[in-house]
């Protein structure tokens, strides 16, 4: 039963990730202010089409080790995603600004998906989001967020005031 449920989870994850690659590229390109191709790849040791049977075989062959360790060494809980910017692995080649933009793009994708699936715009909370973004990316991000109710914390209120002045209420503590 575990391999059956795992197969369902992995198929759903794969479909979701495959479906939003174009959207994540568009969001990243908007925030980065340049056309960029972003790819999110779901990493699994087994083919999606034969996931259940391959996982079951691996679980059976590793049963003694898994019991000794106290957890299963294969399954959806052990899988991850890889992120690519213009066909280069982000974890090895992305600058701090590109990494920050990529993380922001994933968050904004989440906002977009919630808006599409629930037909409501979620409240966007961002903590110290401007610290590692250059001026162009800050401006692009604030422009992107003007249609969303957003709370942004920052240690540099001047940055927010400059980019968000006509759309923001500022609270200083």
Give pLDDT tens digits along the chain (173 positions): 888 999 899 999 998 898 888 899 999 999 999 999 999 999 998 888 888 999 999 999 999 998 999 998 898 998 999 999 999 999 999 988 899 899 999 999 999 999 888 988 899 998 888 877 888 888 888 888 888 888 888 887 777 656 666 667 777 77
Q: Identify which of 1, 9, 5 has the alpha carbon closest to the alpha carbon of residue 42.
A: 9
Query: Which residues, 6+ apart, have CB-to-CB distance to 122 below 8 Å?
Result: 111, 114, 115, 148
Q: Provide the token pair at 11.
A: 């198929």
Beta bridge partners, 152, equal: 126
Q: Provide the token pair at 134.
A: 């250059």
Whole-number Å distance between alpha carbons of 50 and 70: 26
| SS3 at position 169 | coil
Q: Please provide the CATH number assigned to the domain covering 2-92.
A: 1.20.1050.90
pTM for the structure as a whole: 0.81
- Measure the CA angle with vertex 113, ends 37 and 162; round to 5°: 70
Give the residue extent of every domain in the chain: 2-92
Whether residue 80 contacts residue 72, with contact meaning beta carbons closer than 8 Å, is answered with no
């Amino acid at each position: 039963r575990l391999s059956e449920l795992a197969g369902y989870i992995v198929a759903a994850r794969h479909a979701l990730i495959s479906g939003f690659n174009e959207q994540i590229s568009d969001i990243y390109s908007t925030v980065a202010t340049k056309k960029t191709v972003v790819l999110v790849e779901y990493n699994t040791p087994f083919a999606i089409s034969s996931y259940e049977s391959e996982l079951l075989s691996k679980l059976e062959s590793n049963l003694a080790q898994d019991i000794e360790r106290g957890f299963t060494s294969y399954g959806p809980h052990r899988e991850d995603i890889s992120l690519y910017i213009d066909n280069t692995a982000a974890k090895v080649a992305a600058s701090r600004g590109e990494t920050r933009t990529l993380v922001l793009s994933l968050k904004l994708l989440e906002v977009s998906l919630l808006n599409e699936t629930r037909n409501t715009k979620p409240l966007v909370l961002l903590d110290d989001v401007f610290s590692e973004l250059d001026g162009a990316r800050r401006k692009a991000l604030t422009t992107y967020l003007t249609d969303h109710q957003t709370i942004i914390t920052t240690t540099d209120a001047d940055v927010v005031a400059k980019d968000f002045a006509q759309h923001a209420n500022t609270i200083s503590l």
